[in-house]
């Protein structure tokens, strides 16, 4: 599926596995994981195509799968996503008080990374080649679904960096 090695970070590895599962389902290959004290406590993937649900981005799906958590857990958690988070997902992470995020890559699109930093979150970008390669492959294959998911942000200049997928 991809030629790049799998992510070494266990949290990002799980997020990537979710992205890969999404790709195999014909959906957007973007995955997420929530890690608490070194344990993956939830995982999710973008379900726009699979469920016909535009708000189930990978991170939202991950939060949904996590169910109700006490704020004490969120405060010690790290959110992983294979792609730079949009403002919806970033808003959810801030709402729940998650202090850290690891982003697989911000090359395809650079969305709310800096906004999260201004709100006190620690955002680390792994620039992972497998995350990038998988999403680029999908964008080349299904550019219309990618454009749909990001609300054409890449061409609408809503984000800091246009997507390079096509």
Catalytic site positions: 59
Residue 4 C-beta: closest distance to Zn ion, Å:
23
**What span, in angstroms and rounded, lies between the C-alpha atoms of 125 and 80?**
10
As given in the structure block, the two tokens for residue 128 are 């992972």
CB nearer to Zn ion: give 52 or 70: 52
Quote the crossing angle between the two packed helices 58-66 and 10-24, to the nearest 10°: 110
Q: How far is the CB of 110 from Zn ion (least distance, A)?
A: 13
Instruction: Point out which residues bind Zn ion (CB under 5 A).
Output: 57, 86, 88-89
- Supply the minimum distance, in Å, between the C-beta of residue 13 and Zn ion: 20
Report how far residue 75's alpha carbon sits from residue 98's, in angstroms, rounded to the nearest whole number.
5
Q: How many residues does the chain have?
A: 166
d(CA 122, CA 144): 32
Our CB check for Zn ion shows the closer of 62 and 72 to be: 62
Distance CA 72, CA 101 (A): 17
Q: Between 8 and 52, name the residue whose CB sits nearer to Zn ion.
A: 52
């Amino acid at each position: 599926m991809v030629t790049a090695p799998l992510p070494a970070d266990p949290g990002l590895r799980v997020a990537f596995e979710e992205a890969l599962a999404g790709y195999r389902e014909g959906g957007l290959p973007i995955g997420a994981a929530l890690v608490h004290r070194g344990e993956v406590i939830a995982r999710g993937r973008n379900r726009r195509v699979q469920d016909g649900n535009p708000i189930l981005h990978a991170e939202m799906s991950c939060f949904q799968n996590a169910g109700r958590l006490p704020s004490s857990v969120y405060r010690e958690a790290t959110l992983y996503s294979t792609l730079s988070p949009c403002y919806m997902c970033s808003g959810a992470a801030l709402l729940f008080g998650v202090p850290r995020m690891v982003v697989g890559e911000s090359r395809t699109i650079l969305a709310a990374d800096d906004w999260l930093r201004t709100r006190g979150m620690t955002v680390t970008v792994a620039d992972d080649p497998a995350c990038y390669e998988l999403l680029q492959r999908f964008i080349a294959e299904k550019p219309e679904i990618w454009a749909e998911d990001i609300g054409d942000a890449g061409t609408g200049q809503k984000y800091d960096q246009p997507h390079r997928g096509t």
